[in-house]
């Protein structure tokens, strides 16, 4: 409760006691806000959720306004209210108060987000494979052996994808490109050095280093990894080449080509100035159209991309930016038209990483280089997807317009990113609120009241028991890591392999979505490199006026 009784006069005490009674009447009510805070010109909308109807006013600083209409039931709550305090521009520290309850404290200030990018990069440094600057340890120095030829390959480096030890090139290629675009060159260069090595000749690109055999006991930290892949405990790990067809010793993926992976790698290396490798990868992508998927071994789960024209477009546009070869620009336009709009937007679900990356950054990179006709096409693709998401979002009080699938935070950030890029490109601000509400969902304005970024902001409610071995075995929180985020109850139950234990957020679970701050729930509470980098890029774009 927000009521403070100490040191009050008798009239003030009477008023406070009256408020305390009101607070008791609405003890089952919560106000959710962005725990980091808001920039002065941001849309600012808190959500008041309750099991009982509420009337009256809400307060934020000197602002007082009606609570407004009941938006109805959604998720774990029967009554929900949207509290709009956009006109409050700060600066300062604030709480939203209504019905005797109050929100967590948050900032309104031009520098509200200044400390967040550094925390996100802190997580990426922790995830480094090979030589880790955070732990001071070295790991996986024998990476790797080609699973097809038995040939040794020098593939040390890159990042562990999430809580496990696997290095997925599907996500690594994206992370390198997005880090360059976010201005994080040092971290991008670390990953780029591995991307050069995964393409040792004109016909080869590796999609994965290691596999899910590393999930078997005993659990060990990366530098003490004793997994046996057939070459002895702690020995070399397998390097899985993308074959362009289904592969896997037991469970198989549904790969159809290598263009998705090779195209994205080409874009990343072009951004980093490694043009010889980028050109070679682009030629490989053009020669072998289709999608490369990760390789399952022990379990059937894998990254299952199904789009690749967006990656060919990205490769062509970044190579054009680097070389000014007009043929590349024409190819980029052709691939852009084939890629079109991201068709997952507005739908209820999709497969695991089926639509990765979830926003086509190549469209944004191409836009300033083309004539008015092509600009209009690109803007329409972005706008159409955002309109579908907005229509879906307006059906619930939290304005969540994306599906609660595995790694749902990726989808949410993609919407915010696409909305801000659309505004930068066209000057049209119609999706500014959609972008803000998606960002706010990530940072605490959700039914659980939790920031999905570990340790961000300091002292707020964020994951305390993430699915990460650094936390479990070393007592070190992987600060700055964005976790997978909530999923539907159906998905969560399907991915539950053991008891979760005590659920401190049990009151806020529903069929709509569940999120568990427990180590055992790898489907909602595992930090991921691609989502973390996506958030870094979003914040960079948000702070850049074009």
SS3 of 513-536: CECCCCCCCCCCCCEEHHHHHHHH
Q: Is 124 exposed, middle or buried (0-12, 13-18, 19+ CB in 10 A)?
A: buried
pLDDT at 298 over 90: yes
Overall average pLDDT of the 138-163 stretch: 97
pLDDT tens for residues 78-92? 999 999 999 999 899
pLDDT tens for residues 174-206? 999 999 999 999 999 999 999 999 999 999 999
Q: In this structure, how many other beta carbons lie within 10 angstroms of the beta carbon of residue 341?
A: 18
pLDDT tens for residues 393-435? 999 999 999 999 999 999 999 999 999 999 999 999 999 999 9
pLDDT at 231 over 70: yes
| Choice among 5-19, 495-509, 522-536 with the minimum mean pLDDT | 5-19
Extract the tokens encoding 419: 């909305």
Write down the mean pLDDT value for the chain.
94
pLDDT category of residue 6 using cuts at 50, 70 and 90: very low
Residue matched to tokens 């004109």: 202
pLDDT at 274 over 70: yes
Q: Which domains does the chain have, with CATH numbers?
A: 10-108 (2.60.40.10), 143-335 (1.50.10.10)
pLDDT at 448 over 90: yes
pLDDT tens for residues 485-494? 999 999 999 9
- pTM over 0.85? The answer is yes
**Residue 149 DSSP symbol:** T
Residues 114, 200: contact at Cβ < 8 Å?
Answer: no
Residues 153, 139: contact at Cβ < 8 Å?
Answer: no
pLDDT category of residue 22 using cuts at 50, 70 and 90: very low
pLDDT of residue 216: 87
pLDDT tens for residues 42-97? 999 999 999 999 999 999 999 999 999 999 999 999 999 999 999 999 899 999 99
pLDDT of residue 171: 98
Residues 67, 81: contact at Cβ < 8 Å?
Answer: yes
Residues 316, 338: contact at Cβ < 8 Å?
Answer: no
pLDDT at 372 over 90: yes
pLDDT of residue 493: 93
Radius of gyration of the chain (CA): 24
Continuous H helices in 248-371: 259-271, 275-287, 309-323, 326-339, 361-366
pLDDT of residue 487: 97
Overall average pLDDT of the 312-334 stretch: 98
pLDDT category of residue 217 using cuts at 50, 70 and 90: confident
């Amino acid at each position: 409760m927000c009521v403070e009784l100490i040191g009050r006069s008798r009239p003030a005490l009477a008023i406070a006691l009256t408020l305390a009674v009101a607070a008791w009447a609405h003890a089952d009510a919560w106000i959710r806000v962005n725990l980091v805070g808001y920039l002065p010109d941001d849309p600012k909308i808190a959500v008041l959720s309750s099991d009982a109807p509420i009337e009256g006013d809400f307060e934020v600083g000197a602002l007082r306004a009606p609570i407004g209409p009941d938006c109805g039931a959604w998720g774990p709550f029967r009554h929900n209210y949207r509290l709009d305090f956009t006109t409050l521009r700060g600066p300062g520290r604030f709480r939203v108060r209504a019905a005797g309850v109050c929100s967590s404290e948050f900032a309104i200030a031009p520098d509200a987000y200044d400390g967040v990018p550094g925390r996100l990069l802190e997580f990426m440094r922790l995830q480094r494979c090979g030589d880790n600057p955070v732990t001071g340890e070295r790991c996986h120095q024998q990476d790797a052996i080609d699973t097809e030829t038995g040939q040794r390959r020098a593939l040390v480096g890159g990042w562990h994808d999430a809580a496990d030890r696997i290095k997925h090139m599907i996500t690594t290629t994206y992370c390198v490109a997005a880090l360059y675009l976010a201005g994080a060159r040092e971290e991008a260069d670390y990953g780029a050095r591995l991307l050069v090595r995964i393409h040792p000749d004109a016909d080869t690109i590796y999609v994965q280093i290691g596999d899910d055999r590393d999930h078997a006991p005993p659990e060990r930290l990366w530098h003490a990894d004793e997994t046996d892949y057939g070459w002895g405990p702690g020995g070399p790990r397998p390097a899985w080449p993308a074959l362009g067809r289904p592969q896997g010793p037991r469970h198989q993926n549904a790969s159809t080509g290598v263009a998705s992976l090779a195209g994205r790698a080409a874009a990343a290396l072009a951004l980093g100035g490694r043009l010889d490798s980028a050109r070679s990868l682009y030629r490989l992508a053009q020669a072998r159209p289709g999608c490369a998927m990760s390789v399952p071994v022990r379990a059937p789960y894998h990254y299952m991309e199904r789009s690749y024209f967006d990656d060919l477009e990205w490769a062509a546009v970044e190579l054009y930016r680097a070389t000014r070869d007009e043929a590349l620009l024409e190819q980029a336009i052709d691939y852009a038209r084939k890629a079109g709009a991201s068709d997952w937007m507005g739908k209820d679900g999709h497969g695991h990483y089926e639509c990765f990356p979830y926003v086509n950054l190549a469209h944004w990179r191409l836009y300033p280089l083309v004539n008015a006709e092509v600009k209009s096409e690109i803007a329409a693709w972005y706008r159409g997807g955002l309109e579908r998401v907005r229509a879906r979002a307006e059906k619930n009080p939290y304005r969540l317009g994306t599906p609660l699938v595995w790694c749902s935070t990726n989808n949410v950030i993609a919407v915010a990113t696409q909305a801000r890029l659309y505004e930068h490109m066209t000057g049209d601000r119609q999706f500014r609120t959609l972008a803000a509400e998606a960002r706010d969902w990530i940072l605490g304005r959700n039914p659980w009241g939790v920031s999905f970024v570990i340790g961000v902001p300091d002292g707020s409610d964020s994951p305390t028991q993430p699915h990460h071995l650094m936390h479990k075995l070393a007592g070190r929180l992987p600060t700055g890591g964005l976790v997978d985020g909530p999923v539907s109850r159906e998905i969560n139950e399907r991915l539950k392999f053991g008891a979760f234990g005590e659920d401190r957020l049990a009151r806020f679970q529903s069929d709509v979505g569940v999120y568990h701050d427990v180590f055992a729930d790898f489907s909602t509470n595992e930090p991921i490199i691609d989502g973390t980098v996506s958030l870094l890029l979003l914040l960079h774009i948000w702070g850049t006026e074009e």
